[in-house]
Structure 1
Amino acid sequence: MEAGTKTLIPPESTNRRTVAEIYSALATGNMETVLERLAPDIKWTVVPGDQTAGTYYGPELVLREALAPLAAVWADFEMTPFEFTAVGDKVFVVGESRGVHRASGKVGTARFVHVWHLRDGIAYRFESVSDTHAMRRATQ
């Protein structure tokens, strides 16, 4: 490599790393790191049928309306990503959610696909698609 030549990191690598950092931060309860990786105007959509279904705008609303209720209803709630596929400004994540429903004591497990849209390593759009029926069964 010539002196003064920069090695460019492909945007897919940066985006994949950002999304992996978000899951890692969620797993450890590090909400500060999660919020740092979300754009101020993020659009966060959760599939109908999910307990936090809806579209939320901004990191604080995402935390309050989409993430915090999960901890209130589920003990030991985890989102485990199995596969990350980065394509352009998107990262597709296949994984599994798991938790113990606090009221019923039953374990709920559901597969998910998350679609992240990133710009300059920051998430500006998120969509969750999951097996809501599997989780709902654990609530009964």
Structure 2
Amino acid sequence: MSVEENVQTVKDFFAAIGGGNKLDVLALVAEDIEWIIPGEDWPLAGTHRGHAGLADVLQKASEEVEMTYPEPPEFVAQGDRVLVVGVATGKIKATNKPFKDDWVFDITVRNGKLKTIREYIDTQALARASEMEASSRS
């Protein structure tokens, strides 16, 4: 596939996530997709594999995090890799604490499907927003 087709596939993936249709999202990813979200002490961190892992992390994201994207992301591509550069703002629902996250997704597209997603995010901002107050931990 061409670089332009790979970028369009990634754009379609982001649009499908924004649209909330799980079937549209799964149609754009390889069955053995691997999505790596770095960090500890926040709800989405970990390595999520396959359609089931992807569905689980997207469900968890909708339950745990409120997020907005104040400006459209930038797409930079070469070969089968597409970097998506953006910023998100929001809050962790359990703590009601806000965050600002400058992020980059490093996405590999193979045969027209997303094969790997590796996030580079502000894990410290997200972990801080996920911290429960000492009095509410009991």
Q: Given the two structures, how large is their TM-score scaled by the length of structure 2?
A: 0.82
In structure 2, what is the equivalent of residue 51 of structure 1? Answer: 43
Gapped runs of 5+ residues in structure 1? 1-9
* Paired amino acid for 1:88: G
**How many residues end up aligned between the 2 structures?**
129
Q: Is the CA contact 1:45–1:54 (under 8 Å) kept in the aligned structure 2? A: yes
Aligned to 2:24: 33
Structure 2's unaligned 5+ residue stretches are 132-138
Identity of aligned residues (%): 29
SS in 2 for 1:52: coil
Partner of 2:118: 127
Q: Which contiguous aligned blocks of 4+ residues in structure 1 show a shift greater than 3 angstroms?
A: 78-81
Q: Determine which of 45, 53, 68 is the counterpart of 1:61.
A: 53
How many Å separate the matches in 2 of 1:133 and 1:63? 25
- How has the CA–CA distance of structure 1 residues 55 and 104 changed in structure 2, closer, same or farther, with 3 Å as cutoff? closer
Superposed, 1:2-17 pairs within 5 Å as: 11-17=2-8
**Residue-by-residue CA offset, 1:35-76 (whole Å, 9 max, x unaligned):** 110101112211123532222221121111x2221111123x
Alignment RMSD: 1.9
Find the aligned partners of 2:33 and 2:95 in 1 and give their Cα distance.
33
